[in-house]
């Protein structure tokens, strides 16, 4: 029983981290209908900047997270401006290919020796790991910090999207660009803002991921990115609660499979569940089903 | 009628001339073994990409798991060759057929449930299938030790040569062309344009989608079979989602719904990747990935409809006989 609770906690940690990435995917998908394949690489940049921030540049780690968020927000806005905006009203696949191109660019660009270099780096944690033992279940201070930070950002995001003016604009744009324009919403600015928020959240995820699983390298964003995107689809893409729910499920499934079945089958079972869920609910667990109008 | 035969003849002559040219260049050493490998790879990519072209370019079914079917074909064909390899060319043909049929069958089986999904959801489901295949291949040695699992499979006879690859690619191009301009091909295109409308004019959309998907996956399997007999070592990592992206890139950059575009881009793409290595030299070879990414972004920004944008070289388009409209309608 203790070991089961232990796995639930580990799964929760992984799931919450996926949630930070998945939110960026889901918000971008909600506003412009694009699978932003470069998002996982923004997460990677976030991890690198955060790590360099508190290790090389000597910033306190919360400040390093904020610096990393700012850098990634700017990066996200620039990517959207250069690579996606010209293709916004082109067939969706064109922007998707552009996104794959941006993803390659960030990965190979970061691998260059004068940027981050191609090597795996072992991350020194900004604080010492302490393990508490609560009746057989061990919790580390790293897990507590991660869960606290993620929950704070999730609440902040919910406030932003549902209680502020710019959040209302984001929700409007996700319904209909033309109607939003008629209502006086600056669509371009709102989309830029969406990218900034999504990328900043990915940066937070990146720094926390580097602290939790202390290793970073230029291609580290691919798998968490794909998993988080899958989680967003699982929950119903375009829905903020869906992204969180999907990520939590994904985190549990992966951890439980690794613990009780086989760590090699982890990905296979996670994706098999995704396919099954899609077959039963084609637009995800919380997704709105699209009625085809003729 | 005369004109049609004439065109066929020209195509055959063109193909033979191209083959002879390549053969001379290889035997005289103008194309050295290194570029010969690149040429072979480009032909394999062409075959696989034509398969995705049918699935996505012509039928509009978004697949992000195409490389998985190439892998299934490569592994099943390779296993067949390792078991029955002593019969020479005959067993190679058998292996290619096995690769094709196995990949096609898997495409059919996975297609039945997932082809009900639309656009991005279908893409994610096929992407997930690709992951599952990778994990299955990684662990395949626990059931069949010859497959080698994550360590990769060695020992397939290296019998694929220019003749096999060139003429298989040619046959696939002709097959694809005939399919696309057949009744079934038209039905596929109608689904791509508007599935609901296609349904309403009496196209059995599910059956047609499934047929196109199975055919496309079978071509992927054929490409995989050739791959297994061109390279002495294959491993599950050769058929991962990044390779699926490669096929997608080739098909989209070529122009959706353009066979010409797919063929030209597949060959150009393979040579671009290796050519960059050569042009940049050892000093700047690190920049290869960055430059490739930039070429990708710039190409799609400049030509959002793809390089060929749905157009075909004239000689690939069969002439429609206009004098019998009834026959044309029935195909």
- For the segment A150-202, what is each residue's pLDDT rounded down to a tens digit? 999 999 999 999 999 999 999 999 988 999 999 999 999 999 999 999 999 99
* Beta bridge mates, B154: B233
Do residue B249 and residue A100 have CB atoms under 8 angstroms apart?
yes
Closest to A104 (Cβ–Cβ): which among B125, B256, B293?
B293
Does B72 share its domain with B214? yes
Domain shared by B138 and B225, yes or no: yes
Over the stretch B276-302, which tens digit does the pLDDT of each residue have?
888 888 888 888 899 999 999 999 999
Q: Are residues B60 and B148 in the same domain?
A: yes
Residue-range definition of the domain harbouring residue B114: 37-241
Enumerate residues 249 to 308 of chain B having a beta carbon within 8 A of any beta carbon in chain A.
249, 252-253, 256, 286-290, 292-294, 296-297, 300-301, 304-305
- Both B6 and B47 in one domain: the answer is no
Instruction: Answer whether residue B278 is part of any domain.
Output: no
Inter-chain touch B131–A268, beta carbons under 8 Å: yes
Q: How many other CB atoms are found less than 10 A from the CB of residue A11?
A: 22
**Residue that finishes a domain, picked among B187, B212, B241:** B241
Are residues B7 and B68 located together in one domain of the fold?
A: no
Of B217, B241, B265, which residue is a domain's last? B241
pLDDT, one tens digit per residue, over B70-112 is 999 999 999 999 888 677 778 889 999 999 999 999 999 999 9
CB contact under 8 A, B304 and A87: yes
**In the predicted model, what is the mean pLDDT of residues B196-202?**
92
Q: Do B301 and A98 touch (CB under 8 A)?
A: yes
B144 and B1 in a common domain = no
Chain A residues within 8 A of B128 when measuring between CB atoms = 230, 271-272, 274-275
Structural domain includes residue B323:
no
Regarding whether B98 and B194 lie in a shared domain, the answer is yes
Contacts of A200 (CB under 8 A, 6+ apart): A69, A70, A72, A73, A76
pLDDT of residue B321: 55
Q: Are B123 and A35 within 8 A, CB to CB?
A: yes
- Interchain contact B124–A (C-beta under 8 A): yes
ipTM of the assembly?
0.89
Contact call for B252 and A97, based on CB within 8 A = yes
Same domain, yes or no: B70 and B23: no
Report the distance separating Cα A32 and Cα A173, nearest Å: 8
Same domain as B231, residue B174: yes
Distance, in Å, from the CA atom of B313 to the CA atom of B24, rounded to the nearest integer, reads: 26
Of the candidates A20, A8, A222, the one whose C-alpha atom is nearest the C-alpha of residue A110 is: A222
DSSP-based three-state secondary structure for B233: strand
| Strand A215-216 relative to strand B233-234, pairing | unpaired
Q: Tell me how long chain A is.
A: 294
Domain identity same for B87 and B225: yes
For chains A and B, CB pairs below 8 A equal: 120
User: Total domain count for chain B?
Assistant: 2
**Residue B276 included in any domain:** no
Beta strands in chain B (DSSP E): 153-154, 233-234
Same-domain check for residues B106 and B140: yes
Average pLDDT, chain A: 90
Contact B294 A105 (CB under 8 A): yes
Rg, Å, chain B Cα set: 20
Looking at the fold, whether B2 and B141 belong to one and the same domain comes out as no
For residue B68, being part of any structural domain is answered with: yes
Q: What is the pLDDT of residue B283?
A: 81
**Residues in A touching B289 (Cβ below 8 Å):** 104, 107-109, 111
Rounded to the nearest 5°, which phi and psi values hold at B240?
-95, -175
B265: in domain:
no
In a domain, B60, yes or no: yes
Do the domain assignments include residue B4? yes
CB A21 within 8 A of CB A180: no
Distance from CA of A88 to the nearest CA of B (A): 11
* B123-152 tens-digit pLDDT: 989 999 999 999 999 998 888 888 888 888
Which of B219, B241, B263 corresponds to the end of one domain?
B241
Residue B120 lies in a domain: yes
Give the Cα separation of B263 and B260 in Å (integer). 5
Burial, B225: exposed, middle or buried (Cβ in 10 Å; 0-12, 13-18, 19+)? buried
In a mutational test of the A interface, the residue from B289, B303, B309 whose CB has the highest number of chain A CBs within 10 Å is B289
- pLDDT of B36 above 80: yes
């Amino acid at each position: 029983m203790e070991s089961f609770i232990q796995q639930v906690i580990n799964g929760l940690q992984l799931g919450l981290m996926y949630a930070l990435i998945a939110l960026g995917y889901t918000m971008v998908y909600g506003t412009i209908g694009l699978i932003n394949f470069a998002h996982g690489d923004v997460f990677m940049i976030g991890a690198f900047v955060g790590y360099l921030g508190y290790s090389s540049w000597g910033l306190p780690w919360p400040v390093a997270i904020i610096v990393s968020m700012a850098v990634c927000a700017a990066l996200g806005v620039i990517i959207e401006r250069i690579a996606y905006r010209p293709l916004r009203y082109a067939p969706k696949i064109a922007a998707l290919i552009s996104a794959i191109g941006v993803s390659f660019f960030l990965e190979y660009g970061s691998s260059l020796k004068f940027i981050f270099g191609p090597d795996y780096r072992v991350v020194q944690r900004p604080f010492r790991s302490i393990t508490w033992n609560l009746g057989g279940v061990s919790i580390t201070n790293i897990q507590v910090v991660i869960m606290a930070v993620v929950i704070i950002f999730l609440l902040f995001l919910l406030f932003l999207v549902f209680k502020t003016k710019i959040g209302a604009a984001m929700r409007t744009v996700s319904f209909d660009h033309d109607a939003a324009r008629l209502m006086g919403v600056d669509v371009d600015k709102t989309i830029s803002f969406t990218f900034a928020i999504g990328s900043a959240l990915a940066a937070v995820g990146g720094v926390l991921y580097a602290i939790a699983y202390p290793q970073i390298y230029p291609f580290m964003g691919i798998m968490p990115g794909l998993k988080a995107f899958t989680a967003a689809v699982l929950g119903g893409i375009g829905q903020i609660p869906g992204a969180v729910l999907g990520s939590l499920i994904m985190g549990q499934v992966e951890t439980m499979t690794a613990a009780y079945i086989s760590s090699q089958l982890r990905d296979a079972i996670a994706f098999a569940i995704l396919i099954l869920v899609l077959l039963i609910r084609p637009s995800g667990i919380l997704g709105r089903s699209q009625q085809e109008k003729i | 009628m005369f004109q049609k035969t004439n065109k066929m003849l020209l195509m055959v002559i063109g193909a033979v001339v191209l083959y002879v040219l390549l053969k001379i260049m290889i035997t005289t050493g103008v194309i050295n073994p290194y570029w010969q490998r690149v040429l072979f790879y480009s032909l394999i990519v062409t075959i696989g990409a034509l398969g995705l072209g049918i699935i996505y370019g012509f039928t509009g079914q978004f697949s992000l798991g195409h490389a998985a079917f190439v892998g299934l074909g490569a592994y099943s064909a390779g296993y067949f060759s390792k078991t029955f390899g002593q019969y020479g060319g005959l067993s190679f043909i058998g292996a290619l057929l096995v690769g094709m049929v196995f990949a096609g069958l898997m495409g059919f089986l996975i297609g039945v449930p997932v082809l009900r999904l639309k656009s991005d959801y279908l893409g994610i489901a096929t992407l997930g299938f690709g992951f599952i295949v990778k994990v299955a291949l990684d662990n395949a040695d626990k059931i069949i030790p010859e497959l080698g699992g994550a360590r990769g499979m060695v020992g397939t006879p290296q019998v694929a040569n220019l003749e096999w690859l060139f003429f298989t690619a040619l046959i696939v191009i002709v097959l694809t062309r005939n399919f696309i301009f057949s009744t079934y091909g038209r039905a596929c295109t109608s689904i791509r344009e508007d599935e609901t409308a296609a349904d309403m004019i009496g196209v059995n959309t599910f059956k047609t989608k499934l047929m196109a998907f199975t055919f496309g996956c079978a071509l992927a399997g054929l490409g995989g079979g050739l791959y297994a007999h061109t390279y002495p070592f294959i491993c599950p990592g050769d058929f991962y989602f990044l390779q699926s992206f490669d096929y997608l890139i080739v098909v989209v950059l070529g122009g959706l719904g353009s066979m010409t575009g797919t063929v030209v881009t597949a060959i150009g793409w393979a040579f671009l990747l290796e050519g960059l290595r050569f042009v940049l030299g050892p000093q700047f070879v690190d920049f290869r990935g960055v430059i490739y990414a930039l070429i990708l972004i710039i190409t799609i920004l400049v030509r959002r409809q793809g390089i060929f944008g749905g157009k075909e070289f004239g000689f690939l388009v069969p002439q429609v006989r206009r004098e019998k409209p009834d026959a044309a309608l029935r195909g």
